[in-house]
């Protein structure tokens, strides 16, 4: 006979299943059991006020996620079976995927390990469980990406040595140092940096353009894992907002600390995203939207609105946001010009925009592009036509904080290069911007430890003094790098196109 029981709603069920599980330890002091959640100065008076944003029990999690994985892997198998790599818009597109595998998939891995630490480190049980779910989600993301990209690796260059260059290559120090900065900080700064500044505020500028770019350019593998990860991502965004509000509500002393982190991680995230913006503007044969437009929608509208919501806690807009907005007309062009000149020392190919793309750039970026950057590209095109494809022979000065070669210009003068210097313990450190200089000056002891690739190369720590030595140390062949046109990827693509045309 069916029984008449007290019914529990989902929220009550979740509360009971998870919440009552933890206890105040008595055989060991709590401060020793949770040694890392006080030294940053964040004061939590009541962890029970934490509202778990996921409210997931394990049985529900396994069920939802298994359904998603079954679908995803069916499609990944079909990509292999149908040789869907031949259906992308153009092989130039794959350089965006290479940047992702070389630079962003390692961040998913880092997030996996970082959220594991929080999943053990926070004193509050609800916060720990939320971080554990995110940890295993991030494990999912790095794994599905490796599985999806493994197929491209069979045909194209620039994927095969990703595990080595992830740590060693100069341009991959940009994402690597970003995440290591967060992971070497305490748990509250990490979650502010990653869950809030990155996942909540800036993710639309990273994840959306990449997945949309994949969809526009016929990349079924990437599109599928992207869509499949989206529901995980929206959970992660919720966690980001929740933790920041929680810290701000717990104690007024937390407000200035959180503000400094928001300043730092807004700028750090913005600098990192310059790489993605460049990919959107230059590497997608079929464009989704320009960096400028994305910045206007996702930052100037949505991001600003979010900060306005936080004003009631005493939070103001992040420092230097005006500079970021002022740079929206130039940052991707300055970045692409740099990668173009240095691509012989990467596992990427670069190229000059064709006529149609040049028109699109003019339309999106207006006068400044026509006046400053187009002529530069035209000059390089002339050199190329004479068989003198331009590659930079010297090594750049790299920003001590964001690790980007200092190609940047003054906020009010795009013709004048900027390079700011801080002196610490008798050594000079160069920075690309006021934003990065502020970050250095706040924690010089941390940033003076940074590994600066050009300095290491000159000191002979990277295989030798020549470009060939350096490439060998990175396991990059001559054929993996430099100009796209005439490259092995380009030749293979042309061959496939010719075969398809014959049928």
Partner 1 sequence: MSIDIKTAAVEEKRITFDHIARKLGEGKKPNRYQEVVFGQQPEEVFHYRPTWDPERELYDVRRTAIQMQDFEDLLDPRQYYYATYVIQRSRQQESQEKNYSVVEKRGLLDNISDELKENIKKVVVPFRHAEWGANMNNFHISSYGFQTPIASAATMQGMDRLGNAQYLTRIGLILSENDPAILDEAKELWLHDPMWQGLRKVIEDSFVIEDWFELHLLQNYLLDGVFHPLLFQHLENHIVTRGGAAFAMLTELFIDWYAESRRWTDATIKVAIDESDQNSKLMQSWTEKWKPEVVAAAQRIADAVFADQSEEVMRSILDELDDRSRKLGLLN
Please tell me whether residue 10 binds partner 1 under the rule CB under 8 A. Answer: no
In 10 A of CB 71, how many CB atoms?
13
- Taking contact as CB under 8 A, which single stretch among the options 106-114, 255-263, 313-321, 430-438 is the one that binds partner 1? 106-114
Residue pair 224/184 in contact (Cβ under 8 Å)? The answer is: no
Residue 326 Cβ vs partner 1, minimum distance, rounded to whole Å: 29
Q: Which is nearer to partner 1, 152 or 295 (CB)?
A: 152
Please tell me whether residue 357 binds partner 1 under the rule CB under 8 A. Answer: no
152/220 Cα distance (integer angstroms): 12
Residue 446 Cβ vs partner 1, minimum distance, rounded to whole Å: 5
Q: Which is nearer to partner 1, 84 or 89 (CB)?
A: 84
Please tell me whether residue 20 binds partner 1 under the rule CB under 8 A. Answer: yes
Q: Which is nearer to partner 1, 26 or 393 (CB)?
A: 26
* DSSP state, residue 410: E
Please tell me whether residue 268 binds partner 1 under the rule CB under 8 A. Answer: no
Please tell me whether residue 84 binds partner 1 under the rule CB under 8 A. Answer: no
Please tell me whether residue 27 binds partner 1 under the rule CB under 8 A. Answer: yes
- Taking contact as CB under 8 A, which single stretch among the options 53-61, 199-207, 239-247, 373-381 is the one that binds partner 1? 53-61
91/320 Cα distance (integer angstroms): 37
CA angle 314, 319, 323 (to 5 degrees): 145
CA angle 56, 60, 66 (to 5 degrees): 125
- In the numeric block, which tokens belong to residue 237? 């965004």
Among 22, 260, 296, 300, indicate the residue that binds partner 1 (CB under 8 A): 22
To the nearest 10 degrees (0 to 180), the angle between helices 220-250 and 58-81 is: 150
Size of the site for partner 1 (CB under 8 A): 94
Q: Which is nearer to partner 1, 2 or 385 (CB)?
A: 2
Please tell me whether residue 442 binds partner 1 under the rule CB under 8 A. Answer: no
- Taking contact as CB under 8 A, which single stretch among the options 66-74, 242-250, 351-359, 411-419 is the one that binds partner 1? 66-74
Among 36, 207, 380, 473, indicate the residue that binds partner 1 (CB under 8 A): 36
Residue 395 Cβ vs partner 1, minimum distance, rounded to whole Å: 17
Residue pair 337/376 in contact (Cβ under 8 Å)? The answer is: yes
Among 18, 95, 102, 223, indicate the residue that binds partner 1 (CB under 8 A): 18
In sequence order, the β-bridge partners of residue 48 are none
Please tell me whether residue 123 binds partner 1 under the rule CB under 8 A. Answer: no
**Contacts of partner 1 in 135-174 (CB under 8 A):** 135-136, 139-140, 142-144, 146-147, 150, 153-157, 159-164, 166-168, 173
- Taking contact as CB under 8 A, which single stretch among the options 41-49, 63-71, 198-206, 434-442 is the one that binds partner 1? 63-71
Per DSSP, which regions of 79-128 are E strands? none
Among 45, 46, 48, 59, indicate the residue that binds partner 1 (CB under 8 A): 59
Among 43, 49, 63, 442, indicate the residue that binds partner 1 (CB under 8 A): 63
Please tell me whether residue 502 binds partner 1 under the rule CB under 8 A. Answer: no
Residue pair 41/253 in contact (Cβ under 8 Å)? The answer is: yes
Q: Which is nearer to partner 1, 17 or 215 (CB)?
A: 17
Please tell me whether residue 468 binds partner 1 under the rule CB under 8 A. Answer: no
CA end-to-end span of the chain, whole Å?
A: 68
Write down the residue that tokens 């359904």 correspond to: 67
Q: Which is nearer to partner 1, 324 or 399 (CB)?
A: 399
Q: Are strands 420-424 and 427-431 parallel, antiparallel or unpaired?
A: antiparallel
Please tell me whether residue 395 binds partner 1 under the rule CB under 8 A. Answer: no
- Taking contact as CB under 8 A, which single stretch among the options 15-23, 219-227, 324-332, 427-435 is the one that binds partner 1? 15-23
Please tell me whether residue 9 binds partner 1 under the rule CB under 8 A. Answer: no
To the nearest 10 degrees (0 to 180), the angle between helices 173-183 and 105-121 is: 0
Residue 302 Cβ vs partner 1, minimum distance, rounded to whole Å: 31
Residue pair 417/406 in contact (Cβ under 8 Å)? The answer is: yes
- Taking contact as CB under 8 A, which single stretch among the options 113-121, 284-292, 293-301, 388-396 is the one that binds partner 1? 113-121
- In the numeric block, which tokens belong to residue 48? 């029970």
70/252 Cα distance (integer angstroms): 47
Closest by CA to 267, choosing from 224, 321, 223, is 321
DSSP per-residue string spanning 366-394: HHHIIIIIHHHHHHHHHHHHTT------S
Among 50, 54, 100, 112, indicate the residue that binds partner 1 (CB under 8 A): 112
Write down the residue that tokens 């894992």 correspond to: 225
Residue 128 Cβ vs partner 1, minimum distance, rounded to whole Å: 8
Residue 414 C-beta-side C-alpha neighbours within 13 Å? 16
Helix (H, G, I), strand (E, B) or coil at 427: strand
């Amino acid at each position: 006979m069916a029984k008449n029981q007290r019914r529990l709603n989902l929220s009550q069920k979740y509360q009971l299943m998870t919440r009552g599980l933890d206890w105040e330890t008595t055989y060991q002091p709590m401060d020793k059991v949770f040694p890392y959640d006080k030294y940053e100065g964040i004061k939590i008076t009541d962890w029970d006020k934490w509202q778990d944003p996921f409210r997931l029990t394990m049985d529900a999690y396994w069920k939802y996620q298994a359904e998603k994985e079954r679908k995803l892997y069916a499609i990944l198998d079909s990509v292999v079976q149908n040789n869907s790599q031949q259906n992308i818009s153009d092989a130039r597109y794959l350089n965006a995927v290479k940047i992702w595998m070389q630079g962003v998939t390692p961040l998913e891995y880092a997030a996996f390990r970082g959220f594991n630490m929080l999943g053990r480190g926070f004193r509050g049980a609800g916060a720990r469980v939320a971080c554990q779910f995110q940890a295993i989600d991030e494990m999912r993301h790095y794994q599905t990406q490796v599985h999806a990209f493994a197929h491209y690796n069979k045909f194209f260059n620039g994927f095969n040595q990703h595990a080595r260059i992830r740590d060693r290559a100069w341009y991959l120090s940009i994402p690597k140092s970003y995440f290591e900065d967060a992971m070497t900080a305490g748990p509250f700064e990490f979650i502010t940096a990653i869950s809030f500044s990155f996942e909540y505020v800036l993710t639309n500028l990273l994840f959306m353009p990449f997945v949309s770019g994949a969809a526009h350019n016929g990349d079924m593998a990437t599109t599928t894992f992207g869509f499949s990860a989206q529901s995980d991502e929206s959970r992660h965004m919720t966690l980001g907002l929740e933790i920041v509000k929680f810290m701000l509500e717990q104690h007024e002393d937390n407000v200035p600390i959180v503000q400094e982190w928001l300043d730092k991680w807004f700028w750090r995230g913005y600098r990192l995203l310059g790489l993605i913006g460049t990919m959107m503007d230059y590497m997608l044969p079929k464009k989704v939207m320009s960096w400028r437009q994305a910045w206007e929608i996702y930052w100037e509208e949505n991001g600003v609105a979010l900060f306005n919501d936080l004003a009631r806690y005493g939070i103001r807009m992040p420092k230097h946001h005006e500079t970021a907005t002022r740079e929206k007309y130039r940052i991707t062009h300055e970045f692409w010009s740099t990668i173009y000149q240095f691509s012989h020392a990467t596992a990427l190919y670069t190229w000059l925009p064709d006529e149609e793309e040049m028109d699109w750039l003019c339309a999106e970026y207006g006068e400044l592009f026509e006046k400053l950057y187009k002529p530069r590209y035209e000059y390089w095109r002339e050199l190329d036509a004479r068989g003198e494809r331009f590659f930079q022979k010297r090594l750049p000065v790299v920003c001590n904080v964001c690790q980007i070669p200092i190609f940047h210009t003054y906020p009010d003068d795009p013709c004048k290069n900027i390079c700011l210097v801080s002196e610490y313990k008798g050594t000079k450190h160069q920075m690309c911007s006021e934003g990065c200089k502020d970050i250095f000056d706040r924690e010089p002891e941390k940033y003076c430890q940074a590994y600066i690739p050009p300095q290491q190369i000159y000191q002979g720590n990277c295989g030798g003094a020549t470009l060939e030595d350096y490439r060998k140390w990175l396991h990059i062949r001559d054929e993996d790098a430099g100009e796209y046109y005439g490259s092995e990827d380009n030749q293979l693509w042309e061959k496939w196109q010719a075969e398809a045309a014959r049928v």
